Amino acid sequence: MNNMNQNNGMQKRMLIMTLVVFVFFIAYEFLVLKPQKEAKEAQAKQEQVTQAKSTPVEGMQETDVSGNPIDMSKSVESLSSKAIATQEIISVIKTAKNIIEIDNKGRIAQVTLLDTIYKDEEEHQIKLFESNQLRPLEVRFADTNINSKAFKVAAVASKSELDVKNQKQELIITQNLGETVLTKKFTFYPDGHYDLTTTSTNGKKFFITNGFRPNVLADMYADHGAMAKLNDGTLTIIEDGDLDKNENLTGAKFISNFDRYYATVIYNFEKSLAITLMPDNDGNPQGFIHGGNSITFSGYAGPKNFKDLAALNPELTDVIEYGWFTFIAKPMFILLQFIQSYVGNWGWTIVILTILVKLVLYPLSYKGMVSMNKLKELAPKMKEIQAKYKDDKQKQSMHMMELYKKHGANPMGGCLPLILQIPVFFAIYRVLLNAIELKGAEWIFWVQDLAEMDPYFVLPILMGASMYIQQRITPNTMQDEMQKKIFQFLPVIFTFFFLWFPAGLTLYWFVNNVFTIGQQYYINKLFEKKRAAKK
C-alpha cells in the first residue's frame, strides 16, 4: 500500500465485497433462479409431451419413454401423475425400505418409500418416478427389429409378488423376442437395493438405462441431474439443462441420477461401466450403459441417506454432492452425524456444531475483533495525520504505518478473518441443504421439520435481530455515510431472504450470531478495562 487512504479503501472494499458475496448468493437464487423455474413450470403446463432432439447412441434404436420406438425421451416438465397403470405391473417387490414395481417391459416403473418421514404435502408416501419418464432398467437394442419387438412383447415374471422384508429373494424377468431372449435375473435385498444380471441370446447387443432422475424435489436451492464416478476417483456432474450433446464415459464405477434428496444409482466396483450420457430436448442428462450381450451390476433407488449409502459401499456416499466446498462439507457432515448419534436431536446437533465451529475459528475471530477495536481507538490520531499531511500522501502513508506498528494494529485484520470464514459458511450451507437426514427432524415445538422453512418465521426474525445487535456492538471505522447506511440495512435484507430458508440453516446462522455477539462483548469489555486503567 502506498498511503493510508489506500489502506482504508482496501479494508472497506474487502468488507463490502464479503457482504456483497453473501447477498448476491442469496438474492440470485431467490430473485433469478426461482422465477426461472416457475416460468418453466407454467409453460410446461400448456405444452403437450415434446419430442427429443438428441442424437441416439450409434446403433441404438430411438424410442419414446412410453415404449414406442420413435423418440428417445420426454421433457421433464411435461411429466404428470406418478400413478402407474395396474395392468402394466407384472411384479411387486416389498422390502423393509420400499415397494418396487416392475412393469411389462422389465423396467422399474415405480419405487414407493415406506419410512414414515418420506411423505409429500398430501401426507402420501413418496413415490420417486413420474409415470411418463424414462424408466430405470429400460433396454434398447442395437438391432432395430428386435428393439421394436421389445416394446410390443410383454415380459414375464417368475413371481408376481416378493416379500423381501427379512431375507433376499430372486426374481427372473424373461422377454422372448424371437431372435433373442432377454433375461433379467434380480436379487432383491431387505434394505431396498438389488443385484442384476441382464443377458441376451445370440450375441444381440443392448443398452440399459438408469432412467431419468427421481422427480420429488428439484428446486432452485440444490443441484439435480446426473453424476458418474470414474476409476480415477473424479466425479463428472452434469446438471439438468446443461447437456447439449452425447458424452461418453468409460471406466465408471457408478452413475447416479438425482434430485435434491433422492437418487437412482447403478454401480459396479469390480468391473467398470461404459456409459453414454444423452440429452433430452431440454438438455437433461440420461445415462445409457453399454451392456454388450451380458452385464452385471447393482442398483439402488431411494433417499440419499449417508448411512444407507455407506452400508452399500463407502464410495456411494459421493452420490451426496456438496458443491465447490465438498472437501470441507463432507467431513463436517460426518462430524454432524457423529454428534447426532449421541444427542439424538438434529436441532441441538446443529447448535453444538455451530459452537464447535466458533471455538475452532475463535483465534481468527479474536484477532479480527481486537484489530477493529484498536483501529477504533486510533481513529482520532488517524484523522490528525490525515489533516496534517493531506498534501503529502507519501508522508501520510509513512506516519500511518508507524502508528499501526506502534500500537500493533493491522488495517486488514478486521476483514481477513471474515473472508477466511466464508468457505466454512458455504460448506455448512450445502450440508444442511442436502442432508435428507434433516427431513422430518423436529427441534422444538414449533419447528417440526428442519429441512423446511420456519412456519412462524421465529428463527429468521431472531436471526435478523441478532445480526442487528451484533452490528451495533461491533466497532465501525467507516467514514463514508453511504457505506454505513448499507451496513445498517443488511440485517433487514438477510432477514427477508432467510424467511424461506430451511429452519436448520437459519438456526445455524442465528446461533452463530449469538456467540459472535458474546465474543464481541467480551473483547469490548477488555478494551474498556484497558482504557480505564490508562486513565
d(C-alpha 103, C-alpha 91), whole Å: 7
Angle CA 337–343–346, to nearest 5:
60
d(C-alpha 316, C-alpha 265), whole Å: 9
Query: HSE on the CB side for 306, CA within 13 Å?
Result: 19
d(C-alpha 7, C-alpha 18), whole Å: 17
* Per-residue tens of pLDDT for the chain, all 535 residues: 444 444 444 444 445 555 555 555 555 555 555 555 555 444 444 443 333 334 456 656 555 444 554 444 443 333 335 777 788 999 999 999 999 999 999 999 999 999 988 887 778 899 999 888 899 999 999 999 999 999 999 999 999 999 999 999 999 999 999 999 999 999 999 999 999 999 999 999 999 999 999 988 766 667 889 999 999 999 999 998 889 899 999 999 999 999 989 999 999 999 999 999 999 888 899 999 999 999 999 999 999 999 999 999 999 999 998 877 788 888 889 999 999 999 999 999 999 999 998 888 888 777 777 777 777 677 777 777 777 777 777 777 787 777 777 766 666 655 656 666 677 778 888 888 888 888 888 898 899 889 888 999 999 999 999 999 988 887 765 555 666 677 777 888 889 888 888 899 899 989 989 998 988 888 778 777 776 766 6
Domains (range + CATH), the chain: 4-17+330-534 (no CATH), 47-321 (2.70.98.90)
Helices 422-434, 346-360: axis angle to 10 degrees equals 170
Residue whose C-alpha is closest to residue 183's, from 150, 216, 214, 230: 150
d(C-alpha 176, C-alpha 202), whole Å: 12
Length of the chain: 535
Take residue 231 and report the three cell numbers written for it.
476409476
What phi and psi, each to the nearest 5 degrees, are found at residue 192? Answer: 100, -10
The DSSP 8-state label assigned to residue 265 in this structure reads E
Contacts of 438 (CB under 8 A, 6+ apart): 346, 432, 449, 450, 451, 502, 504
